[in-house]
Amino acid sequence: MFCPKCGGKIEVGEKFCRKCGTPQNISAQNIAPPPVQGASQVVAPSSNPTGAVAKKKMRILPFVIIGILVIFLIIRLVSCASKNTTYDMGDTAKLNGLEISVTSFNIQDTLANGSYVADDGMTYAVVGLTVYNDDKSGQNFMDGFCSYAQLIYDDKEFSMTSFLVPPRNVLADEKISPMESMDGYIVFQIPKKVAKNPDEIGIKFLVDNGKFNEKKMKWQEDIDSVIFDVES
């Protein structure tokens, strides 16, 4: 047996510890052996070692999702801004390799010294332009198919006026070579009541860079555009 206080050895029948004098009134079976010095304490492993890692990941996940949404929103805003930007008259806008500048905006009832007369209740909006081709190849400016222009008034859209024999300097569907600059104009026939509110008129140039989807068997549009405010 051993003394429960100091761990000294006690012979059977002894009532006091020879080493520290502690009374020995505990039965032998209840006296534990002294602790072994230098023995390492065994720590029971965690019942769920992956639990803490899982909780940490769950705490991080919302921040990751928020970060992804913020990045997506920024990309979306930049994309929308680049696809529909408004410029003042005299500014230069870049669109599909072309540098476009609206130089003038006039309302008149006839064109080409009276060779063309607007319909009753209508008039011509003549938009002066300077266009420079900064692309590697020639382009047909506002050909009416992949590129076209609109006069915007409120929620109305007016298309360019087509001529069987275009007046001189009309730029619609005009071929512009690389590094070439052209001055001219495009024409819209619009109601006279629209022409009385030039501060509400915008000129929109659009280019469709889409492609044909063979699986869906239809054309998928990818339109870039710029808008000029003519009242400036």
The CATH number given to whatever domain includes residue 172 is: 2.60.40.1240
Alpha-carbon distance 6 to 183, whole Å? 110
- The predicted structure's pLDDT at residue 55: 67
138 and 200 in a single domain? The answer is yes
27 and 97 in a single domain? The answer is no
- The predicted structure's pLDDT at residue 74: 64
Q: Is residue 50 part of a domain?
A: no
- Spell out the per-residue pLDDT of the chain, length 232, in tens: 677 777 777 777 777 777 777 776 655 444 455 555 555 555 555 555 566 666 666 777 777 778 787 785 665 554 444 455 789 999 999 998 999 999 999 999 999 888 899 999 999 999 999 999 999 988 888 886 778 899 999 989 999 998 877 788 888 888 899 999 999 999 999 999 999 999 999 999 998 877 777 777 777 777 889 999 987 5
The parent domain of residue 11 ranges over 1-35
167 Cβ contact list (under 8 Å, min separation 6): 111, 112, 115, 116, 187
- The predicted structure's pLDDT at residue 172: 83
Of 175, 178, 171, give the one whose Cα is nearest residue 128.
Answer: 171
94 Cβ contact list (under 8 Å, min separation 6): 100, 134, 226
Alpha-carbon distance 208 to 83, whole Å? 11
Tokens of 134: 């900064």
Q: Is residue 146 part of a domain?
A: yes
24 and 93 in a single domain? The answer is no
- The predicted structure's pLDDT at residue 226: 93
- The predicted structure's pLDDT at residue 49: 57
| Overall number of domains in the chain | 2
Q: Is residue 104 part of a domain?
A: yes
Tokens of 204: 């929109």
- The predicted structure's pLDDT at residue 202: 95
The type of residue at 220 is Q
93 and 186 in a single domain? The answer is yes
Cβ proximity of 126 and 187 under 8 Å: yes
What is the DSSP secondary-structure string of 46-99?
PS-TTHHHHHHHHHHHHHHHHHHHHHHHHHHHHHHHHHEEEEETT--EEETTEE
**pTM of the full structure:** 0.60
Q: Is residue 99 part of a domain?
A: yes
The number of C-alpha atoms within 13 Å of 180 and in the hemisphere containing its C-beta is 13
Q: What angle do CA 160, 164, 166 make, to 5 degrees?
A: 65
Q: Is residue 24 part of a domain?
A: yes
